[in-house]
């Protein structure tokens, strides 16, 4: 059994305090990460509550706080680093768990973790960084938690969530319809990221309409919205047979769907690292420097 599965099995038997989950509230890739967590929750019948930065005062001694997997503990983003800093400043003992993450250039955070902290890194570059700098009591290498998302649940579970009818969501629906039509004649897509984690040295055309993690971004965090967004995200990817991308979770989603995937690095090493850790052995996935 992998370390992450072994951890969830043991956590399902934890009785000393309340278990809290701090979810990702970002784009469609974040929703797929959350669905990896929620799929493991179902598998191990784990009881938990949601927590955010405004409810940290509900914590008490021996509680467990699970930080959603992803790439949030980096200088480009603020919300998760600010949340963890507040956790680090608590004056009582909790168990902090960083689910599979890419982590870099946040020394002030990782040297001040609570004494009973477990960190799962999703690639070797972050693992080596945390191993060198962090005071965490346990540090492991693990697959990105999105690899544990149950596709049967995402594709088939009836979900009462309905995104709000604001103009952004209407545009998103039109973009998805566009790709459904476009893909009937062209099964190849360059689904490249258009945000501040883009690789500036990579000379490819970047179009918002092809940035699948943003196109399908109908909400993430709670189970119902993560389920809906992941469903739309995978449907969008599934229109195509060959996907070129520097979006890690477009690559992971396409990998789970059995697509041919050509992965490029983002602005740092996370795509390369996760490819090396979890996808290198798969014949339908290729990484391009």
Residue 266: inside a domain: yes
The last residue of a domain, from among 108, 123, 148:
148
pLDDT at 1 over 70: no
Residues 20, 132 share a domain = yes
The answer for residues whose C-beta is within 8 angstroms of residue 232's C-beta and 6 or more apart is: 28, 176, 216, 218
Which tens digits make up the pLDDT trace of 264-284? 998 899 999 999 999 999 999
This prediction's pTM: 0.96
Report yes or no: 161 and 140 within 8 Å, Cβ to Cβ.
Answer: no
Tell me which residue range forms the domain holding 84.
3-148
- Nearest CA among 65, 90, 61 for reference residue 11: 65
Residues 255, 208 share a domain = yes
Among residues of the chain, what percentage have pLDDT more than 90?
89
The last residue of a domain, from among 121, 148, 175:
148
């Amino acid at each position: 059994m992998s370390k992450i599965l072994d951890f969830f099995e043991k956590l399902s038997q934890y009785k000393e305090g309340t278990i809290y989950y701090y979810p990702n509230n970002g784009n469609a890739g974040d929703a797929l990460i959350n669905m990896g967590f929620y799929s493991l929750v179902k598998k191990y019948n784990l009881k938990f509550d949601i927590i955010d930065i405004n409810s940290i005062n509900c914590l008490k001694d021996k509680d467990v706080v699970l930080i959603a997997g992803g790439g949030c503990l980096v200088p480009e983003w603020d919300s998760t680093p600010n949340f963890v800093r507040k956790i680090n400043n608590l004056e009582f003992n909790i168990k902090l768990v960083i689910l599979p993450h890419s982590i870099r250039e946040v020394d002030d955070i990782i040297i001040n973790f609570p004494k009973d902290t477990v960190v799962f890194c999703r690639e070797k570059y972050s693992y080596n960084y945390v191993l060198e700098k962090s005071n965490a009591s346990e540090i492991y290498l693990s697959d990105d938690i999105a690899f544990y998302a149950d596709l049967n649940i995402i594709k088939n579970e009836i979900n009462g969530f309905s995104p709000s009818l604001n103009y952004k969501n209407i545009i998103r629906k039109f973009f998805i319809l566009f790709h459904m039509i476009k893909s009937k004649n062209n099964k190849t897509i360059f689904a490249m990221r258009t945000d501040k984690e883009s690789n500036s040295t990579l000379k490819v055309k970047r179009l918002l309409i092809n940035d699948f993690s943003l196109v399908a971004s109908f909400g993430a965090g709670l189970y119902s919205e993560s389920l809906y967004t992941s469903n739309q995200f995978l449907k969008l990817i599934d229109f195509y047979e060959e996907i070129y991308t520097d979006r890690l979770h477009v690559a992971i989603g396409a990998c789970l769907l059995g697509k041919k995937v050509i992965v490029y690095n983002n602005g740092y090493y996370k795509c390369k690292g996760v490819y090396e850790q979890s996808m290198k052995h798969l014949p339908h996935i290729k990484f391009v420097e």
